Amino acid sequence: MLYLTGLPGLEAIEHWIFIPFFFMYLVAISGNCFILMLIKTNPRLHTPMYYLLSLLAFTDLGLSVSTLPTTMGIFWFNSHGIYFGACQIQMFCIHSFSFMESAVLLVMSFDRFVAICHPLRYSVIITGQRVIRAGLVVILRGPVGLVPIVLLLRVFPYCGHRVLSHSFCLHQEVIHLACIDTTFNNLYGLTLVVLTVMLDLVLIALSYGAILHTVAKLASREEQLRVFQTCTSHLCAVLIFFVPMVGLSLVHRFGKHAPPAVHLLMANVYLFVPPMLNPIIYSIKTKEIRHAIGKFLGLRKASAESWG
């Protein structure tokens, strides 16, 4: 049995802290479900770009649901204990959906690169079949790579305290509880992060370098802004996902003497903020999504008036 701490030093007001966490979960889950419903029910959104957006909403939804049971259990029911098997499942889900989101953002950056740098060939390069193949790779890449190090945690001996400093299980933290040499897990985990998340980030940066180079060649500033605005939603999603994730990895690897509040802040921002903000950003910044929302609300309003 492991003990999840939650927010150390704030136990007396945990029932009040529940309110903002509940609000974040409510926005994240309802917002991403709404995006998925809009894309499914609106034929105008049945294009590769919005299929990728639906995959992003799915990964955000999975990330939120992965942390929901233990976080709400702590803040609502004061339930801090978790069985080791359940902890393994939770960390596997959290890291899997994180790797999925990183890959989705990479594929979306390639979509924007083709749309801006090779617009005449977009419909030839970005096809529904290729999006499906990319989606399968996105779904399988993270979980397959995580299986060895998550399963190895079961055979490690653990001694001393079994207290975790978060309200959820992360591999980086559980591995520190083992009283045996964990060099393989540490090196494998670092290699996996470098070959997935860090490589994705480098490729996204290269895509945006090419996009900026193409945009800079456009004649007028108005045209430059108009073209680049098609990337603003994706660029915001990239920043709010990768900045906290890279920060959390660096803190766990090299900031062992950093205050506990730094670890808690980075972990909570990394897991809770992107799923909450992504549907808001895409709803505000994407014209087609705004139009679909307006049409949906208009239909609902018309239905209410007809019943009235």
186-206, pLDDT tens digit by residue? 888 888 888 888 899 999 999
Rg of the chain over all Cα atoms, to the nearest angstrom: 21
Closest C-alpha to 261, from 161, 163, 166: 166
Residue 215 confidence class, pLDDT cut points 50, 70, 90: confident
pLDDT at residue 76, as a whole number: 79
Place of tokens 């890449």: 141
Inform me whether the pLDDT recorded for 302 exceeds 70.
no
Sign of the Cα torsion 229, 234, 237, 238 reads negative
Q: What is the pLDDT of residues 128-148, one digit of tens each?
A: 888 888 888 888 888 899 998
Inform me whether the pLDDT recorded for 35 exceeds 80.
yes
Find the mean pLDDT for residues 211-232: 84
pLDDT at residue 113, as a whole number: 92
Residue 295 confidence class, pLDDT cut points 50, 70, 90: confident
Which tokens is 8 given? Answer: 């150390």
In one letter, which amino acid is 129? Q
* Angstrom distance (rounded) from CA 281 to CA 288: 13
Q: What is the pLDDT of residues 93-119, one digit of tens each?
A: 999 999 999 999 999 999 999 998 888
Residue 46 confidence class, pLDDT cut points 50, 70, 90: confident
| Domain span at 107 | 2-307
Inform me whether the pLDDT recorded for 10 exceeds 80.
no
CATH of the domain at 217: 1.20.1070.10
* Angstrom distance (rounded) from CA 151 to CA 86: 12
Closest C-alpha to 252, from 243, 264, 241, 242: 264
Calculate the average pLDDT of the chain.
84
Q: What is the pLDDT of residues 171-180, one digit of tens each?
A: 888 888 888 8
Residue 300 confidence class, pLDDT cut points 50, 70, 90: low
Find the mean pLDDT for residues 210-222: 84
Q: What is the pLDDT of residues 150-171, one digit of tens each?
A: 888 888 888 877 888 788 888 8
* Alpha helix stretches (DSSP H) within 78-117: 84-117
C-alpha distances in Å from residue 76, one per residue of 21, 24, 64, 72, 205: 10, 15, 17, 5, 41
* Angstrom distance (rounded) from CA 275 to CA 101: 10
Stated pTM of the model: 0.89
Inform me whether the pLDDT recorded for 304 exceeds 60.
no
pLDDT at residue 28, as a whole number: 93
What number of other Cβ atoms are within 10 A of residue 194's Cβ?
A: 12
Domain count, the chain: 1
Beta bridge partner(s), residue 81: 3
Report the chain's terminal Cα–Cα distance, integer Å: 56
Inform me whether the pLDDT recorded for 77 exceeds 80.
no
Q: What is the pLDDT of residues 244-259, one digit of tens each?
A: 877 777 776 666 666 6
